[in-house]
Amino acid sequence: MTHLFLLEPDAVATVRAIDKSQVLGALADRLAAVYGLERSEVLERIEERERLGSTGFGRGVASPHARIAGVTEPVAAFLRLEAPVAFESADGMPVKLVFGLLSPEQGGASHLQALAAISRMMRDDRMRANLEAAPDAEALYGLLCNVIDRDAA
């Protein structure tokens, strides 16, 4: 089985954040800690991408992403926010679910394929409802892996 991106269990969490800056910081913390990356570099890259335009694509979901040196394949982190946060999303709705993605600097096609897979998953109304209702990070991870594995098959 091939996968479009790696999602480690420790890269999935429920976090408290009061604004977009804290969301991006929490995402950088998680990505750096789980995948052995430099936090400041991760944060700088995702903030740089965010300045080009919000990665909040609507329906309460954001997908901050960047290409970065030091990763050999696309890696992801998933955060469920304790309370929705304004994110300058396309539809104006605050964000509750954040699916971060980092890809190799030269990973053009793989980066786009991974983003497309995340977008498809997060556009599913039932999936979003299940993610919002999941009791803990372990349940969140299970839900995400079932879809990732199914889509890769």
**pLDDT over 80 at 2, yes or no:** no
Q: Mean pLDDT across the stretch 3-30?
A: 95
Quote the pLDDT of residue 149. 59
Q: Is residue 1 included in any domain, yes or no?
A: no
Which two tokens mark 24? 């991006």
Q: Which residues contact 44 (CB under 8 A, 6 or more apart)?
A: none
Q: What's the total number of domains in the chain? A: 1
Quote the pLDDT of residue 55. 94
Taking the C-alpha atoms of residue 140 and residue 70, their distance in angstroms, rounded to an integer, is: 27
Q: Mean pLDDT across the stretch 13-35?
A: 97
- Which CATH number do you get for residue 139? 3.40.930.10
Quote the pLDDT of residue 151. 52
pTM summary value? 0.93
Q: Is residue 49 included in any domain, yes or no?
A: yes
**pLDDT over 90 at 3, yes or no:** no
Q: How confident is the model at residue 107 (pLDDT cuts 50, 70, 90)?
A: confident
**pLDDT over 50 at 153, yes or no:** no
Percent of the chain with pLDDT over 70: 94
Q: Is residue 56 included in any domain, yes or no?
A: yes
* E-only strand ranges, 5-153: 6-15, 56-58, 61-62, 65-68, 75-85, 95-104
Q: Mean pLDDT across the stretch 112-125?
A: 92
Active site residues: 65
The boundaries of the domain holding residue 120 are 6-152
Q: Is residue 77 included in any domain, yes or no?
A: yes
Q: Is residue 128 included in any domain, yes or no?
A: yes
Q: Tens digit of pLDDT for each residue in 46-101?
A: 999 999 999 998 999 999 999 998 899 999 999 999 999 999 998 999 999 999 99
